Structure 1
């Protein structure tokens, strides 16, 4: 009885969060279109409009990916509570972290371009910190994947040995 209530609540919350994140992704895409139209109408610098648009689009993609991950991992029927948590993370985390890293890299590169065009080389600490943090995040993801790959192999070999 208690497990069915938990499963029901889990399904309700995952659907609600999926809808919320999908709506947010839609709102970000609407903001992207509005930004491009305003930039073209006001005859703003096309390069700046395009770079900002790419940044906004990648953020929308990250939010959309989050909605898909929540929907897939928490609302699909099945024995998700019996599924190995590390395997679940290995399946979903790289895509999401990859999208976030693209967004952060673009933000840092856009700031570097902007500051170099304005001759504000003294303000490069912030974009360099963003790019370095992105590199650290990617390295951390690689370490996580490497370590969990070894632990997965150890668990599988232990299960095979126990079955014999």
Structure 2
């Protein structure tokens, strides 16, 4: 079993499999974004809601694409044995994309609720933006605490 892991072909195969799987999810979400955007041009649909759905799908596609690229880059080659540096880069890249997606999602929700005069529901997008802020602070703490390990 250690020869299998030492040769790296199992690690390479599983990295390619999971990266491909997340790439397929990302591509599917891009297609769904296009369909939601196209559906917004129908006379009985609200165009703004369709654009918001398309943007949400694109956020998910971006996050899954970034996860796929992180897996492919970090786990494909077995010659790098610095596990902490690899995890640090992957976590930073992925959490950064998630924070950006959450902040943009919160801003879109604020715009949507203000257009629909639903000011009572504004605590949802504020909660999303606060959660993204705490996630960004946690990422900063993780990077600061893991700085000495590398």
Q: How would you bin the TM-score normalised by the shorter chain?
A: 0.7 to 0.9
Matches within 5 A, 1:20-31: 20-31=21-32
Matches within 5 A, 1:5-154: 5-6=4-5, 7-42=8-43, 44-78=45-79, 80=80, 82-83=81-82, 85-149=83-147, 151-152=148-149
C-alpha RMSD over aligned residues? 2.0
Deviations 1:48-102 (A, max 9, x none): 4334333321211110111111111112241x3x31x321122222221111111
> How big is the shift at 1:45?
4.4
Total equivalences in the alignment: 148
For 1:42 and 1:86, locate their aligned partners in 2 and report how far apart those are by CA, in whole Å: 53
For 1:96 and 1:43, locate their aligned partners in 2 and report how far apart those are by CA, in whole Å: 38
Max Rg structure: 1
> How big is the shift at 1:14?
1.5
| Structure 2 residues without counterparts, runs of 5 or longer | none
> How big is the shift at 1:44?
4.4
Task: Tell whether the 8 Å contact from 1:25 to 1:61 is kept in structure 2 after alignment.
Answer: yes
Deviations 1:131-152 (A, max 9, x none): 1000000011111112222x14
Task: Tell whether the 8 Å contact from 2:32 to 2:54 is kept in structure 1 after alignment.
Answer: no
Task: Tell whether the 8 Å contact from 2:62 to 2:97 is kept in structure 1 after alignment.
Answer: yes
TM-score, structure 2 normalization: 0.86
As a proportion of its length, which structure holds more helix? 1
For 2:45 and 2:31, locate their aligned partners in 1 and report how far apart those are by CA, in whole Å: 19
